[in-house]
Chains A and B, each alone.
Chain A
Amino acid sequence: MIHLGTQVTAISELDDIDSLVAVYWARVLRFVTFSVGDPDLAQTITQDCFLKAYNGRASFRGECSVNTWLIGIANHLICDHVRLKKFQFWRKARATALDVTEFASFLPSNESSPESKILARERMEQVKAAVDSLSVNQRRVFLLKFFEEMNVEEIAAMTDMPVNTVKTHLHRGIKTIRATLGGTK
């Protein structure tokens, strides 16, 4: 059950577009970027997502967190773009694909030795390459699980997929990444 106080807070939070962007922009952009694999397109989708959310803030009923609501809107926008032929073209062209070296430079330097840092960077690049190799649906499900920490039922509700389909996508994604990272099997 959602408390009225929580709902009121969320709705007033939605009224301030600047705070909305300040709090949630990075998280939504991360999900969209790694779902579509194109940072420029991701910026456009994220912008659309926030404008849509702001314009439709009256329809937010507080049944989920604002973040989940925004990710849901972003997810629908990604689906719309995936259906467009334009997206297929850009996906093939990969003109503005995220540069893995640039991306890897954002890896937090928690490692003690230079060797550990290099190893961590290599593994991170491997994960990114493996995520990129997944299909759009596999990737969306995978990111919702590991970025947004949703469970299978929540992912199924958000993506309008049956629970078993979500599980299949998730298992395939994990299998691909496990193989890329050199599993013991």
Chain B
Amino acid sequence: MSTTSGSAHLTDEQFAECVTVAPSAESQLHLDECESCRRELAAFDASLSAFGTTAMAWSEATPKVDLRAAAKLRARRTMERPLGWALATAALLLIAVPVWKNHHGPSAGSESAAVSTPDDSADQIAQDNRLLQSVYAELTPQDVSPFKEYGMTDRATSRTKGRMGSRMQ
């Protein structure tokens, strides 16, 4: 602007200064001479004032929130939140533990099944005994001792037996 020339109007800076603080001496001089700027400044103030008043009327017409109820609701939510988390965690554990057991459990289960005998039937026990006897028979030496074959006495064996017998007595 060039307020001194009289033909120009207030610049944005000068206009803002007039609105926010107060007109400078130069701006005041221009305003005294320029009716257009005076009108603009007045219209600006009036528009902003109307805007503020309308906004306040709108705000007052907006229903107020019941803060006591809101505070209670918020407190209840705050109380319910940890409870909700606890319940969710418990539910998760209820689901997760059996799944984990099924995943990691079978080897331990099979071992315990192999060791456990209460469920074995009498037939099964008899069969197992026969198997064990046959295994024992297989392992027992079938060959006749060379001492017996030639009618000789196994001194070492008899000596050991004699010692063992004296001890036992």
A residues contacting B by CB (< 8 A) are 17-18, 21-22, 25-27, 29-30, 33-34, 39, 43, 46-47, 50-51, 54, 98, 102-104, 106-108, 120, 123-124, 126-128, 131, 145-147, 152, 167, 170-171, 174-175, 177-178, 181, 183-185
Contacts and interface: CB of A to CB of B under 8 A. Distances in A.
B53 to A, nearest CB: 6
A53 to B, nearest CB: 10
Contacts of B59: 26-27, 29-30, 33
Nearest to A107: B54
Nearest to A149: B52
Interface in B33-48: 36-37, 40, 43-44, 47-48
B47 A123 contact: yes
A33 B56 CA distance: 11
- The B interface is mostly helix, strand or loop, or mixed, namely helix
Contact of A178 (B12, B20, B55): B12
Interface stretch (B66-74, B123-131, B158-166): B66-74
Contact of B48 (A54, A103, A146, A167): A146
16 contacts: A21-B67, A26-B56, A26-B59, A26-B62, A27-B56, A29-B59, A33-B55, A51-B70, A106-B55, A124-B47, A124-B50, A124-B54, A126-B47, A128-B51, A178-B44, A183-B40
Can you list the 9 inter-chain pairs with the closest CB atoms, starting with the nearest? Answer: A30-B59, A106-B57, A26-B59, A171-B16, A106-B58, A174-B16, A26-B60, A127-B51, A175-B12
A41 to B, nearest CB: 13
B13 interface: yes
A78 to B, nearest CB: 15
Interface string B72-113: 001000000000000000000000000000000000000000
B10, B55, B58 — which one has the most chain A CB atoms within 10 A of its CB?
A: B55
A107 B51 CA distance: 8
A171 B36 contact: no
Contacts of A120: 50
Given A26-B60, A47-B70, A51-B70, A127 B48 contact: yes
B29 interface: no
